[in-house]
Amino acid sequence: MRKYILSILFFLLSLSIFAQKKNEAYQLNIQRTTQPMEIDGIMDEPGWQEAQVATDFYMVLPMDTSSAKVRTDVKMTYDDHNLYLIAICYHALPGRYMVESLRRDFAFGKNDNFLLFMDPFDDQTNGFSFGANAAGAQWDGLMYEGGKVDLSWDNKWTSVVKNYEDKWIFEMAIPFKTIRYKKGITKWGINFSRLDLKTTEKSSWAPVPRQFPTASLAYSGILNWDQPPPAAGANVSIIPYALAGVTKNYAVDTKNTFRRDVGVDAKIAVTSSLNLDLTVNPDFSQVDVDRQVTNLDRFELFFPERRQFFIENGDLFTNFGYQNLRPFFSRRIGLGTPIHFGARLSGKLDKNWRLGVMDMQTGAVDELNLPTQNFAVVALQRRIFSRSNIGAIIINKESINYEPIADITKPRYSRYNRNVGFEYNLASSNNVWTGKAMVLKSFSPGVSGEDMVYAGNLLYAGKRWNIGAQYEYVGKNFNPEVGYVPRRGYMKLNTQIKHLFFPKGTKILSHGPTLNSTNFFNTSFRATDNENYLLYSITFRDQSVLGAWVAHDYVQIFELFDPTRSGKDSLALFSRHSWNSWGTEFISKPQSLFTYAFRTRYGGYYANGTRLNITGEIGYRFQPYVSLSVSSSYDDINLPETWGRTDFWLVGPRLDVTMTNTLFFTAFLQYNEQIKNVNVNTRLQWRYKPASDLFIVYTDNYLPAPFAVKNRALVLKLTYWWNL
């Protein structure tokens, strides 16, 4: 097994040696302006008249073989405090622009938009993204893994969008204190992206192959500074909050519980590229609630992190491993327990080295017999070759004042849990080859042996072919208490092959099959699970998508599991189950004010039963102020013996009202018949200053039958971003 991992590692290394930077010929020169700049969407300042123009964009979609038909011009300049950009986005067809709303961090594919992708270290791996849709809604995020954008990041910058009959203009100012960059570097990676839904054209300044997102930093051009960007200077931000709230638990008929809390976050720039974040008594009551899903899985479900403190440079910690093989998962910290304080040092040491150190202290919870605990994580990453890197991570969870619990009826906790891991990440210069090889080991009291993880994958992403393979071994005693590894004691082999055809002169943009095979084995290499899945998908030129699939599943049961997840009987241990199923899916074109999507699934299920699933979503927008959507899922499960028929609905209507791009109201209802709960969540957010907010959040939970309140809460929270 170790030889297998090493062979993958050396093969990946050999692919990286010959890497060269792409799109180096696309260069934009930026020079300092000495005149004041006003962010008003009007290009009348002398600084704009003197700035070089980035134009003649290239089409990425529908095809990447020609220049863009929709014209976009971009200029950039700077002064002692801010980086400025103005983009003139011309119309190619008459008619109104297409947007969802004024909601911040909008869905990329449903809005006419312009985006900036910026790589201040020119390492083609990490950076920042800023932009707006045609109505002025802002977009900002941290870039990681060479082309992904985490929109949970939020910081201070300003922008304005002005609309004209033949164009819309986006102008912005990004304070140098907002971003991280290495002092003295005069070449940054840069690219600009434009999506015009009327023509269904996506374009970029530096050309990007159609199989990759325009965010791919492997294909960025170069921003040449006339002199090194100015040092941000003393960069300290203090972000205090004050909170008042009331909660009531009707299930046990308690009195109202009142909350009065204060806390503070601080951001301190140790260098222009290394940041220290501190938090004392943080509160995350304003964070969006998790979107509920129908749970028919045998293992724990994954829900993404939404708390701001854990976001910046979070990929250093949370992206170590794979989607279902994560040694560190920040949601294990402070959900159900109070966080007293925490610190995180993260960022770039230089062009090649990245460092992340985090320490969090949680409080005791007496009713759970849970003591004060400390969580410490150290991650180090070294860039090698063009875009690849090697990384190491150490995770330590320690119970403070540990006392063994003699009473077996009380919840138990460990004295400590530690994980150590190493990985190599491949990213070829043209992004066609990507992959990973990793090893992990856990340390827990009284446990030794079979506590290792070995895994590796390799993916080829061409224009017509997409071929990948992944291998995992997880020992039965591997114990990541601060991670997300829902399954242990297995070996897994996954392969995928996808091919696309590009017909000419039709309404179809591309079509082709995808074959996916996933096989699980126990550590003696005996088959326990497998799924073979064949999908045929058609993408139309209007960006609607139609697909149909067939699948075969085989499962052997090793733990108690109710296949309805509704409190009925469990399947017999070691019983074997296999079935065939089929389904369809359709996503409508994003240009319409009315959008819809549906997915169906029908076929066999456990214990020779059947399962029907119908999932749909419809939406309508009164752009740019109101967006309505309803998602629903219906399951009908028929099983023999004691289960009989089980059916349940999951329905989630949502209302987004954006009065301005600084005043938002969201109402979200979730009716989950499977867990017998109705959840109502409403949030009013007023961004009265950049990155400073007033939140009013109201939450209700009900029993659906008989309809009765379980609990409710009202929270008022005020935050203020103060730059020293």
Q: Which pLDDT tens digit goes with each residue over 47-74?
A: 999 999 999 999 999 888 899 999 999 9
CA atoms of 373 and 370, how far apart (whole Å): 8
292: helix, strand or coil: coil
Mean pLDDT of the chain: 90
pLDDT at 406 over 80: no
**Which residue would you say has higher pLDDT here, 99 or 518?**
518
pLDDT at 195 over 90: yes
Residues with Cβ within 8 Å of residue 521, at least 6 apart in sequence: 490, 491, 492, 493, 527, 528
Confidence of residue 8 (pLDDT cuts 50, 70, 90): low
Longest dimension (CA), the chain: 81
Give how far Cα 62 sits from Cα of 58, 65, 265, Å: 11, 9, 45
Among 124, 123, 118, which Cα is nearest to 140's? 118
Q: What number of CA atoms fall less than 13 Å from residue 523's CA on the CB side?
A: 15
> Do β-strands 27-30 and 221-225 pair in parallel, antiparallel, or remain unpaired?
parallel
What pLDDT is stored for residue 661 in this prediction?
84
CA atoms of 681 and 654, how far apart (whole Å): 10
CA atoms of 255 and 484, how far apart (whole Å): 37
Q: Write out the two tokens for 691.
A: 């990155």
CA atoms of 92 and 697, how far apart (whole Å): 42
Whether 114 and 132 have beta carbons less than 8 Å apart is answered as yes
| Domain locations in the chain as residue ranges | 31-225, 273-284+300-404+413-487
Whether 588 and 544 have beta carbons less than 8 Å apart is answered as yes
Residues 472-501 have a mean pLDDT of 95
Q: What is the pLDDT of residues 487-524, one digit of tens each?
A: 999 999 999 999 999 998 778 999 999 999 999 999 88
| Torsion angles phi and psi, residue 306, rounded to 5 | -125, 0
CATH class label, 31-225: mainly beta
CA atoms of 203 and 159, how far apart (whole Å): 22
Residues with Cβ within 8 Å of residue 450, at least 6 apart in sequence: 475, 476, 477, 478, 489, 523
pLDDT at 294 over 90: no
Of the options 1.20.1180, 2.40.160, 2.60.40, 1.10.405, the CATH number for the domain spanning 273-284+300-404+413-487: 2.40.160
Q: Write out the two tokens for 100.
A: 């969802």
Q: Write out the two tokens for 530.
A: 């497998």
What pLDDT is stored for residue 431 in this prediction?
87
pLDDT at 10 over 50: no
| Percent of the chain residues topping a pLDDT of 90 | 65
Give how far Cα 249 sits from Cα of 252, 257, 284, 655, 699, Å: 6, 9, 20, 26, 12
594: helix, strand or coil: strand
Confidence of residue 22 (pLDDT cuts 50, 70, 90): confident
pLDDT at 118 over 60: yes
Residues 113-141 have a mean pLDDT of 92
What pLDDT is stored for residue 599 in this prediction?
97
pLDDT at 3 over 80: no
pLDDT at 670 over 70: yes
Long-range pairs for 360-363 at CB < 8 Å and ≥24 separation?
Answer: 360/333, 360/334, 362/333, 362/334, 362/337, 362/338, 363/337, 363/338, 363/339
